Amino acid sequence: MIGIPYPPGPWTLRSELLVSVLRVPADRLVGLTEALPVGYEEVPVRGSALVGLAAVRYVPGGVLTYDELLVAVLSTDGRMPRVTIPQIWVTTAASRAGGRALWGIPKDLARITRSTVPGTRPDGTSVRTEVRTADGTAVARLTARVGPRLSPVPVVLPLPTAQRRPDRSTVVAHNTVRGTLRRLAVRWDLAESGPLGHLHGIRPVASVAVQDATVVFGRRVVES
């Protein structure tokens, strides 16, 4: 990452998000121990953890443009709920370098491609997204169709993150997502032999699209 330029924080990004929530048994969480800051743990929900899968496209109008796939786990230090990201892939070196240096987010590089799939209904088409690691290993494929609005006005969602750096220090970043919530029909196909194989076969309990979104990441950062 040395020598790779990236914008200073906070980052203001224009984006489109496809998000699903899964309930995952604790023994199927991979990489979380290394990502959770000291003193943090996953928030248990009936013996499982709440895990978010998100495919995000950052479009022109923000400080960077790139595609991203991430896994996020609801975590807490016993006082405040936050989000910890144990696995994440992005398509640009600038995003990778900045995410790691500024907020301790363990971004890796990937190849992410999108294509349209003719719809079987008259209300539009589906978009298929395929994700492979930089060395070509299959990670995920999702097919998604965005539907009607869920709210007549844009919503603002807080999304604070808590990460552990390799030196075991903690980085808490305060972030927000503002956008239009829409229904989302999505099928996730996670490669059983890939880095998300531990989530293979787990169906989402809820999914939503956030369109015309503005993400502000790292407005306030606390390190300890």
Beta strand 206-223 with 11-25 is antiparallel
Say which residue the tokens 């930089």 belong to: 134
Please give the Cα distance from 216 to 177 (Å, whole number).
7
> Does the pLDDT value for residue 224 go beyond 80?
yes
Given a contact cutoff of 8 angstroms between Cβ atoms, the answer to whether 211 and 12 are in contact is no
Angle at 138 between CA 132 and CA 139, to 5 degrees: 75
In a domain, 153, yes or no: yes
Please give the Cα distance from 97 to 90 (Å, whole number).
10
3-state SS assignment for residue 120 = coil
Alpha carbon distances (Å) from 60 to 24, 39, 98, 113? 34, 38, 18, 17
In a domain, 126, yes or no: yes
Average per-residue pLDDT in the chain? 93
Given a contact cutoff of 8 angstroms between Cβ atoms, the answer to whether 82 and 172 are in contact is yes
In a domain, 220, yes or no: no
How far is CA 46 from its chain centroid?
23
What is the reported pLDDT for 155? 96
> Does the pLDDT value for residue 1 go beyond 60?
no
What is the reported pLDDT for 199? 95
- Summarize pLDDT for 66-86 with one digit per residue, the tens: 999 999 999 999 999 999 999
> Does the pLDDT value for residue 124 go beyond 70?
no
Residue 25 falls in which region: left (phi positive, over 0), alpha (psi -120 to 50) or beta: beta
- In the chain, the number of structural domains is 1
In a domain, 35, yes or no: yes
In a domain, 162, yes or no: yes
What is the reported pLDDT for 119? 62
- Of the two residues 126 and 65, the one the predictor is more confident about is 65
3-state SS assignment for residue 136 = coil
Kindly report which listed range (15-19, 94-98, 114-118, 126-130) carries the lowest average pLDDT score.
114-118
In a domain, 218, yes or no: no
Q: How many residues does the chain have?
A: 224
Please give the Cα distance from 161 to 174 (Å, whole number).
7
> Does the pLDDT value for residue 3 go beyond 90?
no
What is the reported pLDDT for 2? 57
Range of the domain at 201: 11-212
Please give the Cα distance from 208 to 223 (Å, whole number).
31
In a domain, 6, yes or no: no
- Of the two residues 144 and 33, the one the predictor is more confident about is 144
- Summarize pLDDT for 18-63 with one digit per residue, the tens: 999 999 998 888 777 788 999 999 998 888 999 999 999 999 999 9
> Does the pLDDT value for residue 182 go beyond 70?
yes
Give the mean pLDDT of 131-159: 95
In a domain, 217, yes or no: no
Please state, for a pLDDT cut of 90, what percent of the chain lies above it.
85
> For residue 80, what is the domain's CATH number?
2.40.400.10
Look up residue 85 and give its two tokens: 């990201």
What is the reported pLDDT for 28? 86
